[in-house]
A and B are shown apart, each in its own frame.
Chain A
Amino acid sequence: MIQTILDALSYGGLYGLAALGIGLVFGVMRLVNFAHGELIAIGAYLLIVTIDLGLPISISIAVTGTAILALLMEFSVFKRLRVAEPSVLLIASFGVSVFLQRLYEVIFGALPLSGQIAPWMTGVIEFGDTTITRGSLVTIGLALVLLGGMWFFIEKTTLGLQIRAASSDFQTARLLGVRSNRVIGAAFVFSGVLAAAVAFVLVTQRGSVDPLFGVNITILALVGTVIGGLGSLQGAALGGFAVGTTISLLNSFLGNYRIYTYTWLFILVIIVLLVRPGGLISNKAVKERV
């Protein structure tokens, strides 16, 4: 039972990190960035190909590389589409996603690339009759530290205040003189850092990475951001946490019928959205003539 709860919390934390990464960019740009999955994938690739340099260096390279790729996406594609409709941004992010998947295929191959990142995370800790996987504890700890760090940054720093303002009403934030490119760039960088953290947890669990590595969690994290309330950063983290926790609990309770996990998940998602169409924490952006 304890392991079930810890698994649920660790899944929740992992999906919360992924959803917050997506929510940060959506908040300031109204961009549903499907290419977030490819940020997670590059983080995993970098971890595996540099692990021989030692875990701390490998993690540093993965975090830096993922953040740089996130910024490159912004500068090379999305910055040029500032005045475009959200649907255009959405299709552009699809394009970036598919392009990067093919690029990874060319560079790293289409087959999974294997590597042991942190084998100690797969072990168990015994408390009397109860065994707990180290991976669950590390994931929960990592999620707490990163979500806490992001909360501090967003709530207590000047740049965080500007990001919150831009997430609430981007046009008004710009009219006040807030440097939009700086705020958007910061959102992409932090989105990349969170993607690298997700990559670390996922690649230690799976032991391999392929070009489609980040697609599944990105789609489910997007569901989390919608449930949480599009445009709300707290909502994104909460929605992602809810989705991850629900998946883990359904997997556990359904046992041999776990193939129906996603069926039940999406039934619950539809019910939540029918009850609260704006998500758990809705963002009522003010629109009026100027």
Chain B
Amino acid sequence: MTQILEAVSIVKSFGAIRVLEDVSVTVNKGEIVGLLGPNGAGKTTLVNIIAGYESQNSGTVSMDSRSLDGLTPEARTHAGLARTFQSGRLFPELSVAENIVLGGIGVGESTKKANRRALDAIELLGLGDVTSEPAGGLSHGLSRLVGLARALTADPDYLIMDEPAAGLNDHETPVLLTALESIRVESGCGMLLIEHNVGLVADACTRVFVLASGEMLFEGTPHDALIDEGVLTAYLGDATMGLHGGRA
């Protein structure tokens, strides 16, 4: 069985507006893949289709040779596909620890196992100081880290992360980078990283896809992407921007 998350030849229109045109993305197990593109490129629509929140007009989504087409988002979660959201999407009245544990309980793990995984995720992402705080009071950046910890507690085979570094400070971003590498090595989880922080993508990913205006502009290594004339023009808008140009 091929261990790969695949979205193949995805086409999506909203009414007369074509937002994705024959787009394909692959993520191997144990690989971190970046998905880049300017605002409105179709990144969120593509991951919504992969995670089952929206349906495509044509094309297929599969995980480890099993078709995911027609499955609800929760069925995909149970099948081993987790995702994080742009602003954490936490339960504000629940504590940070309860939010994180729910990731495991949601996929049917025992309380004991979910607690153990939650503790691992808390330690990995350095959230030990805020576990008893209500999630509604967290900063934007911390909310995203808690959302990531919650997704990890589900022990997914593949993880889609929607801008996990947005709102993180200079201290938190390296913690995230180390954590992603640790997750990749220890669990073999395949990760699709949607991110505007080009430096993080360059450091974390082995391959990147670059979307622009609903079309796949580039596939290759981060290094090649950042010296590609078309990518720089379409995505960065400034061909003179350096490799580790930070936030775009």
Contact = CB atoms under 8 A, between A and B. Distances in A.
B93 A176 contact: no
Interface in A259-290: 283-284, 286, 288-290
Interface string A75-116: 000000000000000000000000000000000000000000
A164 B53 CA distance: 23
B102 A162 contact: yes
Interface string A173-188: 1111110100000000
Contact of B77 (A177, A180, A286): A177
A172 to B, nearest CB: 5
B37 interface: no
In the complex, which of the residues B90, B93, B150 has the most CB atoms of chain A within 10 Å of its own CB atom? B93
A177 B93 CA distance: 19
Interface in B66-99: 73-74, 77-78, 85-87, 89-94, 98
A164 B102 CA distance: 11
B180 to A, nearest CB: 21
Contact of B87 (A169, A178, A283, A288): A288
Interface string A31-75: 000000000000000000000000000000000000000000000
B154 A176 contact: yes
Contacts of A178: 74, 102, 105-106
A178 B94 CA distance: 15
A165 interface: yes
- Chain B interface size range: 20 to 34
A130 to B, nearest CB: 42
A4 B101 CA distance: 45
Interface string A155-177: 00010011011001100111111
B126 to A, nearest CB: 22
B9 interface: no
Nearest to B52: A175
Contacts, number: 73
Contact of A284 (B44, B92, B103): B92
B136 A284 contact: yes
A153 B108 CA distance: 19
A161 B101 contact: yes
A169 B91 contact: yes
B107 interface: yes
A65 to B, nearest CB: 31
B48 A176 contact: no
A203 to B, nearest CB: 35
A288 B140 CA distance: 14
B106 A177 contact: yes
Nearest to A177: B106
B13 interface: no
A172 B89 contact: yes
A161 B154 contact: no
B57 interface: no
A177 B153 CA distance: 12
Contacts of B139: none
Nearest to A174: B74
B44 A177 contact: no
A288 B106 CA distance: 20
A205 B86 CA distance: 54
List 7 tightest A-B contacts by C-beta distance, closest first.
A176-B106, A177-B106, A168-B91, A177-B77, A177-B107, A178-B106, A290-B53
Interface of B: 44, 48, 53, 73-74, 77-78, 85-87, 89-94, 98, 101-103, 105-108, 111, 136, 150, 154
